[in-house]
Structure 1
């Protein structure tokens, strides 16, 4: 595991626990020699996790759309900053660079990035591990909804189980090393073959 992409908020959130969790994740990545790939900003949890990796002597690659870089929120001290033309290109570049994905607490953008990675995994577009760092029970409602999708037969259990979730960075990252993706989703009924 060389690079892990982290999706997270451009604000710090209501609880100091979110900031603490971002710092712990950054220290864990740096301590393991794992490069952080993230959205390139200096604000919110994005800036916190990047600073923690850098302070731990680790490498950080930021991927930021030109429109956001021009608003002067890009982090000035990264190992590498890749400027792209759009949000779509940002996600594609982060996915290309990453060997796994973690979502810290965040808003709609964080959720959208995580759900896209989940969908791509379900379709077999990648076989990389991905998980939620469930700081302060932030993602409990989302996991409840994933379980509801499964109960209502819109999400198969084998795909539901792809979503790793822990509250401790070290434990989540350890799960990445043993992750085994399920078979690729198909809509063909075996009885029809």
Structure 2
């Protein structure tokens, strides 16, 4: 399986702004970088926190922004009403599946457990060979350093193969992450198939 053309990038990120102003600046830079490359932004559809910042920045730079929001969150008036398109779906499961279908790569900014849950799910799908799309983390102000160390620990303990660990791209800037996405080559073998078995 090979990676296809890059037309849209999904961004997972916090629904709060976080404690460090660098996080909001990085969200804005990510939205701009995606739009300036002629890519569409796909995200969770909310107007709050880093989610709203990344969407607003992409829109301000002339980009297309597609949001996918569960009905329960839309009812709480969290929906961003200025998007190119906002889809309201029935469940979180539907939301994540729709975002994955619309996207050619997945980029995580700082966030909480929802952000981690989303990125780990799509990374797992890639590990299993269900897609060949890149997955990455913008490591703003060292936010993802502990996660990177833990992934290396998992690899050292033989719970994660080095080739699957290497699927996760860590970059200091959204521009570097998008450059790595453009050059991404998925592993040649899936989670259980060893090269000698091919």
TM-score range, shorter chain: over 0.9
1:10, 1:46 within 8 Å by CA — same for their partners in 2?
Answer: yes
Counterparts of 1:53-64 in structure 2, within 5 Å, are 53-64=58-69
1:128 to 111, 129, 133: 133
Which residue is equivalent to 2:3? none
1:10, 1:43 within 8 Å by CA — same for their partners in 2?
Answer: yes
**Structure 1 residue 85 and structure 2 residue 93: aligned?**
no
Distance in 1 (CA, whole Å) between partners of 2:16 and 2:110 is: 10
Distance in 1 (CA, whole Å) between partners of 2:136 and 2:196 is: 34
**Structure 1 residue 181 and structure 2 residue 186: aligned?**
yes
Which residue is equivalent to 1:172? 177
Which residue is equivalent to 1:38? 43
1:189, distance to aligned residue in structure 2 (A)? 6.3
Which residue is equivalent to 2:148? 143
1:123, 1:184 within 8 Å by CA — same for their partners in 2?
Answer: no
Which residue is equivalent to 2:14? 9
Distance in 2 (CA, whole Å) between partners of 1:64 and 1:104 is: 18
TM-score calculated relative to the size of structure 2? 0.94
Instruction: Please provide the CA RMSD for this pair.
Output: 1.4
TM-score calculated relative to the size of structure 1? 0.96
Counterparts of 1:107-118 in structure 2, within 5 Å, are 107-118=112-123
What is the SS of the residue equivalent to 2:55?
A: helix
1:49 to 39, 54, 57: 54
Give the length in aligned residue pairs.
193
> Where in structure 2 are there 5+ consecutive unaligned residues?
1-5
What are the Cα deviations for residues 59-80 of structure 1, in whole angstroms up to 9, with x where unaligned?
Answer: 1000000000000000010000
Using a 3 Å threshold, how does the CA distance of structure 1 residues 192 and 8 change in structure 2: closer, same or farther?
closer
What are the Cα deviations for residues 74-109 of structure 1, in whole angstroms up to 9, with x where unaligned?
Answer: 001000001110000000000000000000000000
1:130, distance to aligned residue in structure 2 (A)? 1.1
